[in-house]
Amino acid sequence: MQILYKQIKNATHKTHATGCITLSGVSQKGYILMNKHLSNAVEFLQAQGLEINIGLKSENTFLPNIEIVNGAIHYDPDCTLVSDLLHESGHVMLCPKPFRKHLHNNLYKGFRYIFETVSIPLDSQLHWYLMAMDDHGVTAWAWAVGKHLGIPDHEIIKDDQYGGEGASIRTCLQLNSYIGINGLCHAKYCDMPNTSRYKENAIVFPNMKKWSPSYVE
């Protein structure tokens, strides 16, 4: 991905071995990205209340060129794949806002802290929100966002992602037969694919009723 135009002031540059340049100390304004899908996704996610910052905080990230820092997304606009942006954003967006600050680098550590310290009544709405936060739910959520934004299927999930199972997972999502859809439906983000048969005005996956939990402590 190349930046078509840059208007950078007081920015810190760091060139990686891949040739990508990481920028810090610069606002989102001033960037016009050649990859319109990435820029559209950033704009949409920010409108949903997700904090997204340019520039990485660490060199070793779980996915290339993007990371989660205390519930905020930090990314390199030169090199980040829109598929990675959607997936990592899903981890944060599906987490109730009071707990997002615990998501930092090692997400499992943050998840463990939430489950060990928060009272979660069985079968409560909070229970289903947290159940939908698993990687399957995040994958389904990212797919729904991508479809909403008109991103091509092969850009939402690439063939070589998910350990080389990207194409298979993409097919399951296209057929509405992916396990992560169930978690989103139980958490009331959307209706099950067959709901429209017996329920008027059903909002069936990949359409969504909402993009993040409506939960307040």
CA atoms of 162 and 187, how far apart (whole Å)? 24
Share of the chain above pLDDT 70, in %: 82
Q: Are 185 and 191 in contact (CB under 8 A)?
A: yes
pLDDT at site 196: 65
Let me know: does 51 contact 73? Beta carbons within 8 Å.
yes
Q: Residue 107 in contact with residue 135, Cβ under 8 Å?
A: no
pLDDT at 210: 97
Residue 114 pLDDT > 70, yes or no? Answer: yes
Residues facing 3 on adjacent strands? 33
Listed in sequence order, the residues at least 6 apart from 2 whose beta carbon sits closer than 8 Å to its beta carbon are 34, 78
For residue 114, what are the contacts with CB-CB under 8 A and spacing of at least 6? 95, 99, 102, 130
Higher pLDDT, 198 or 156: 156
Instruction: Note whether 80 and 88 are within 8 A (CB).
Output: no
Cβ atoms of residues 70 and 104 within 8 Å: yes
- In the predicted model, is pLDDT for residue 17 greater than 50? no
pLDDT at 131 over 70: yes
pLDDT at 135 over 80: yes
Mean pLDDT of 169-195: 94
In this prediction, residues 60-81 reach a mean pLDDT of 92
Amino acid at 132: A
Q: What is the mean pLDDT of the chain?
A: 84
Q: In what order do the strands lie in the sheet with 66-69?
A: 52-54, 72-75, 66-69
pTM of the model as a whole:
0.82
In the numeric block, the tokens 């016009």 are attached to: 32
Whole-number pLDDT of residue 188: 95
30-44, 52-66, 133-147, 182-196: which is most confident: 133-147
**Residue with structure tokens 């995040």?**
138
The rounded percent of the chain whose pLDDT value lies above 90 is 67
DSSP helix/strand/coil, 32: strand
